[in-house]
Structure 1
Amino acid sequence: MKEIRIKDAIIGLGKDKYPLFGSVQYERPAKTNTIVTVQTDNKTVQIPLNQIKLIVFKYDAKTFGFIFNYCLFISDNKSFNLWNRQTKKLTCHELQPNF
């Protein structure tokens, strides 16, 4: 097994819940009941993967990554500036690249 760590992310838990901001780590291969550890500035929570709706993170210096329905998606470079502005507005800082 390999540990996946995303050091700066937005973690969406659902329509009626506030997102979490922090790091995410889990063991691969991930399944619906895989426990994901989310470390925020002031707490650590463990959540089953099936309760996380979306994880948004800066994949590298020019692309964003998204984990949705247990799949990894990478943005195209054309949408980078839009995602960068929107995530900066939401998190009050620019997300740091992970890879």
Structure 2
Amino acid sequence: MKEIRIKDAIIGREISKDPLFGSVQYEQPAKPNTIVTVRTDKAKIQIPLNQIKLIVFKYDAKTFGFIFNYCLFTSDKKSFNSWNRQTKKLACHELQPNF
């Protein structure tokens, strides 16, 4: 098993709940019931992966990463600046690259 750590992310859960901002940690290969540890400034939360709708993070200095339906997707380099502006607004800080 391989541990995945994303140190600065926006974590979207149910529509009725505000997103979380913090780090994400889980074991690969991920399955719907894989327990994900989310650490925020105020709390440590452990929830099944299937309760997370979307994880948005800065993959590297020029690409954003998205985890949706247990799969990793990345942005194209052309949309980086737009994603950077929007995530900075939402998170109230510029997300830090993870890799």
**TM-score, length basis structure 2:** 0.99
Instruction: Work out the CA distance in 2 between the residues paired with 1:40 and 1:31.
Output: 23
User: What aligned pairs does 1:85-96 form with structure 2 within 5 A after superposition?
Assistant: 85-96=85-96
1:39 aligns with 2:33: no
* Structure 1 outlier segments of 4+, above 6 Å: none
**CA root-mean-square deviation:** 0.4
Percent identity of equivalent pairs: 84
Instruction: Work out the CA distance in 2 between the residues paired with 1:60 and 1:2.
Output: 20
Aligned residues: 99
Q: 1:40: how far off?
A: 0.2
Tell me the SS of whatever aligns to 1:57: strand
Partner of 2:49: 49
Tell me the SS of whatever aligns to 1:90: helix
Partner of 1:81: 81
Q: Structure 2: where are the runs of 5+ without partners?
A: none
